[in-house]
Amino acid sequence: MTVCLLSLSMLLAALPLRTQSQIRFPSAEGEQVQYEAYIQLKKGYLSGICVLQREGEEVKGCLFNEFGITALDFSYSLERRNVKLHHVVRMMDRWYIRRVLRKDLAKLMEVLRQGGDSYENTRHHITYRLTPIEGDEER
Amino acid sequence: MSLLQGSAQQQSDVQIRQQLGETAAALHTMQCDFTQTKQLSMLNTKITSGGRMYYQQPGKLRWEYTQPYAYTFILNGNKVLLKNNNRNDVIDVNQNKLFREIAQVMLSSVVGNCLSDDRNFKTSISATQKEWVATLLPLRKNMRQLFQKIILHFNWQQKMVSQVELVEKNGDKTIIDLKHIQKNEKINDRLFAVP
């Protein structure tokens, strides 16, 4: 999995572990929050932009690299607290990658809801970090 | 008005390619501002970023985002430098096929010489009163996995790329508008420095 992700260095998003108080999470209907995303892997990292938007009982999310290439589309159920992947860029679209992403993104969303900004998957040595982009409200 | 009708179509297509090819060949340096608009189909929203781009023949490109985030991509020969708030990384494009292809697409798109890249794209050209539009369909597997098509809009008078559209398989689209284009003006070599 790591090899696949590394080959996508230009494609994605999120993280080291840093404490930051009250990271924004879209709580009101239609609210959108943009984050710089950074994902630290065992042998590299991915970076990009993550956009989360509240729609009903879901938070929809998109993750794309700085050049605009989409890596993931997903939705997070606020009630069931799970993640559904709607689109994964072809070269990452493997069942084992999807499984890890689904679980990790659900954990990351939980962390964000509680005001944190990062989640570390210790088993696979992956750390996800989201940092809100200042002033994204006007965009 | 269309230049590409009936028997004139092929001739006009050839003429357009020739003129764009000549312009690209005579382009030693180029710098401009850019605005990048990412259309997210799933969220039905647009995300805008922007910055400045520098190109120098042969094979030097600096793509610098300044708003709303800081991120710099420098291609210099076979090396790529990626700079963000957290770190700097140098990558050898020869050791990363995907990187090489994306870097090549960016470079050849802004310069406009990908029209002659028959190995990587199937190209068609159309003309309107205001611009020439080239639609590129990727032929290679890696590129096909990323892009459904790439559309280049050329300024009719300047014969230069004014807009690049990257259309992805999931319906997302990235539109890059190039503005305040300056051609063949001296650019400091330090802007392309990769340690």
Please list every residue in chain B whose beta carbon sits closer than 8 Å to the beta carbon of residue A89: 145-146
What percent of chain A clears pLDDT 90, i.e. is strictly above it? 63
Beta bridge partners of A64: A49, A70
Q: What's the pLDDT at A22?
A: 62
| Cα nearest neighbour of A129 on chain B | B86
- Model pLDDT, residue B135: 93
pLDDT recorded at residue A15: 33
Residue range A102-111, pLDDT digits in tens: 999 999 999 9
pLDDT of residue A25: 93
By mean pLDDT, which of A2-6, A67-71, B63-67, B152-156 is the weakest? A2-6
With bands split at pLDDT 50, 70 and 90, how would you rate the model's confidence at A12? very low
Dihedral in degrees, nearest 10, Cα atoms B19, B63, A36, B39: -10
DSSP letter (8 states) at residue B189: G
Is pLDDT of A127 > 60? yes
Chain B CB contacts of A68 below 8 Å: 36, 38, 166, 172, 174
Check: complex ipTM more than 0.90:
no
Q: Is the pLDDT of residue A39 over 80?
A: yes
* pLDDT attached to residue A136: 57
Residues of B in contact with A67 (CB under 8 A): 36, 63, 73, 102, 106, 166, 174
Q: What is the pLDDT along chain B (195 residues), one digit of tens a residue?
A: 444 443 334 447 888 888 888 888 888 999 999 999 999 999 999 999 999 999 998 889 999 999 998 999 999 988 889 888 778 888 888 777 777 777 777 788 887 777 777 888 899 998 888 888 999 999 988 888 889 999 999 988 888 899 999 999 888 999 999 999 999 999 999 999 998
pLDDT of residue B162: 92
**Interface mutation vs chain A, best among B40, B53, B84, most A CBs within 10 Å:** B40
Output the six-digit token pair for B153. Answer: 């809009």
In chain A, count of helices (H) and strands (E)?
2, 7
Domains of chain B: 8-192 (2.50.20.10)
In Å, how far are A52, A125, B37 from A111, measured between CA atoms?
14, 17, 29
Say how many CB pairs under 8 Å bridge A and B.
Answer: 93
State the pTM of this model: 0.84
When pLDDT is averaged across residues A39-62 and rounded to a whole number, the result is: 91
Q: What is the DSSP string of A2-31?
A: HHHHHTTTTT---------S------STT-
Task: State yes or no: pLDDT of A95 exceeds 90.
Answer: yes
Residue contact A69–B174, C-beta within 8 A: yes
Q: In this predicted structure, what is the pLDDT of residue A139? A: 44
User: How far away is chain A from the Cα of B74, in angstroms, using its nearest Cα?
Assistant: 13
Q: Model confidence at A135, in pLDDT bands (50, 70, 90)?
A: low
B chain contacts of residue A135, beta-carbon cutoff 8 Å: 68
Q: Which of A45, A134, A139 sits opposite B48 (nearest CB)?
A: A139
**Facing B170 at nearest CB: one of A47, A66, A70:** A70
Residues of B in contact with A34 (CB under 8 A): 47, 68
Task: Return the pLDDT at A78.
Answer: 96
Element at A36 (helix H, strand E): strand A32-41
Q: Is A45 in contact with A21 (CB distance < 8 Å)? A: no
Kindly report the nearest CA distance between residue B89 and chain A, in angstroms.
10
Chain B residues inside the 8 Å CB shell of A64: 38, 40, 172
Between B96 and A93, whose confidence is greater?
A93
Instruction: Give the single-character DSSP code of A79.
Output: T
CA gap B166, B122 in Å, rounded = 15
Amino acid in the structure at residue B158 = Q
Q: Tell me whether residues A134 and B68 touch, CB distance under 8 A.
A: yes
Task: Starting at the earlier edge strand, list the strands of the sheet with B29-40.
Answer: B88-92, B79-84, B71-76, B60-67, B45-56, B29-40, B173-183, B160-168, B147-155, B131-138, B121-127
